Amino acid sequence: MGIYLAGAAGRKPALPIAFEGLEAAAHQVLDPELLGYVAGGAGDERTQRLNVEAFAQWGLMPRMLVGAAQRDLSVELFGQRFPSPIFMSPVGVLGACREDGDLAVARASAVTGVPMFASTLSAATLEQVRLAQGATPGFFQLYPPNDPELSQSLVSRAEAAGYAGIVVTVDTWVNGWRPRDLSSGYIPMLRGLCLENYRSDPRFQELVAAQPAGQAGAVELTWAGIFGRPTLNWSDIDALREATSLPLIIKGICAPEDAKKAQDHGADGIICSNHGGRQANGGLSALQCLPAVVGATGLPVLFDSGVRSGTDVVKALALGARAVGIGRPYVYGLTVAGAAGVEQVLRGILAEADLLMAVDGYAAIADLVPEALHRVAGPA
């Protein structure tokens, strides 16, 4: 209603409301190499498109006259109450998309109450990011490095900084085949961007110091040597479980068998995600995988990959997600308009979800059950 009243007074929203317009606006601002890195995915990006299209295959059954005037969208996550069922998925190049981008996203988290999952790859340290998140709990996302001491150091720093949980991403121990980045020979980190968590780490500094004296690009080369852990396996999860008493959440699970293993190895939660189609191409949409992952364990299952709108959020919740991760939409909001842009994107998605629940007669998240969704029929 506020938007319509402002419109009557001749004022329009600062950012496009729909995802397509937002993406187009970001395309105007980002340099082409970085745009390729952010917007691109693996292979011919079929899986990335499928992630988005999968939502269109489901429709919510509208129910009338049920009294949905008051809605409650709050959720409990890892022992804390959050005002809404969305979170900001970890994105590693916020500081490249906009100056102080990590801190701008953290400030948007502080004012909206939407938790930020802060990436290992950032242009501000995890301590600075946590401070900027204010009273909203934050989660630290770890890419397990190929150096157990560095892993331990990052986890200890996240604990000391006051994060509410550790999110371990397990689908990116090696980068996927990304034609856009391969064509431009571009990875932000090898240009020295978004490495602040490493540069500020005593263990990483030791690794840099071990490079031959006078080695040009020692930081970037050291990073390239430890970023991925080729042997990553469940015993690494055991080690992380030992290393922290914080909730441990495993990101990048699509198979129900892996969800069970996550539970066996002490995880507190799972993020069903295919990394937005950036890692493997020719696979399943993340949404297709969600119901079986939810059914495999009693653990809370969060979801991301392909979420573009409030209706997508509602559908993922109905398929069993405890909370739903926003990826590229908030990155584009940041790119175009900084913290205010992130805030507008999050508030827009939440308002759409809330309004859909109102008009379709679902007053509570608990009412969003799988039976409320139906397969959309093809053309007759």
Give the catalytic positions in this structure: 275
Work out whether 310 is an interface residue with ligand FNR (CB under 6 A).
no
Work out whether 95 is an interface residue with ligand FNR (CB under 6 A).
no
Tell which residue, 281, 282, 310, 274, has the closest CA to residue 55.
310
Work out whether 130 is an interface residue with ligand FNR (CB under 6 A).
no
Cα distance between residue 306 and residue 49, in whole Å: 8
Q: How far is the CB of 304 from ligand FNR (least distance, A)?
A: 4
Work out whether 320 is an interface residue with ligand FNR (CB under 6 A).
no
Work out whether 290 is an interface residue with ligand FNR (CB under 6 A).
no
| Length of the chain as a residue count | 380
Out of 93, 193, 339, 342, point to the residue binding ligand FNR (CB under 6 A): 93
Nearer to ligand FNR by Cβ, of 310 and 362: the residue is 310
**Residues 181-240, interacting with ligand FNR (CB under 6 A):** none
Of 1-9, 204-212, 259-267, 274-282, the segment contacting ligand FNR by CB under 6 A is 274-282
**68 close to 206: Cβ distance less than 8 angstroms:** no
Work out whether 304 is an interface residue with ligand FNR (CB under 6 A).
yes
Work out whether 91 is an interface residue with ligand FNR (CB under 6 A).
yes
Work out whether 306 is an interface residue with ligand FNR (CB under 6 A).
yes
Tell which residue, 7, 85, 150, has the closest CA to residue 346.
85
Given the structure tokens 């970001």, which residue do they identify?
26
Nearer to ligand FNR by Cβ, of 169 and 344: the residue is 169
* Residue 312 Cα distances to 125, 150, 233, 295, angstroms: 32, 37, 32, 20
Work out whether 307 is an interface residue with ligand FNR (CB under 6 A).
yes
Q: How far is the CB of 170 from ligand FNR (least distance, A)?
A: 9
CA atoms within 13 A on the CB side of 24: 7
Out of 276, 283, 300, 341, point to the residue binding ligand FNR (CB under 6 A): 276
Residue 200 burial (10 A CB sphere; 0-12, 13-18, 19+): middle
DSSP E strand boundaries for 232-369? 248-253, 269-272, 301-303, 323-326
Helix axes 32-39, 328-360, angle to 10 degrees: 40
Out of 327, 338, 341, 348, point to the residue binding ligand FNR (CB under 6 A): 327
Residue 265 burial (10 A CB sphere; 0-12, 13-18, 19+): middle
Nearer to ligand FNR by Cβ, of 34 and 219: the residue is 34
Out of 90, 95, 138, 144, point to the residue binding ligand FNR (CB under 6 A): 90
CB atoms within 10 A of CB 103: 22
The pair of three-digit structure tokens given for residue 52, joined into one six-digit string: 């988005």
Work out whether 251 is an interface residue with ligand FNR (CB under 6 A).
yes
Of 239-247, 270-278, 350-358, 361-369, the segment contacting ligand FNR by CB under 6 A is 270-278
Nearer to ligand FNR by Cβ, of 16 and 306: the residue is 306
- In the complex, the residues that contact ligand FNR under the rule CB under 6 A are 37-38, 51, 89-93, 119, 121, 141, 169, 251, 273, 275-276, 278, 304-307, 327-328
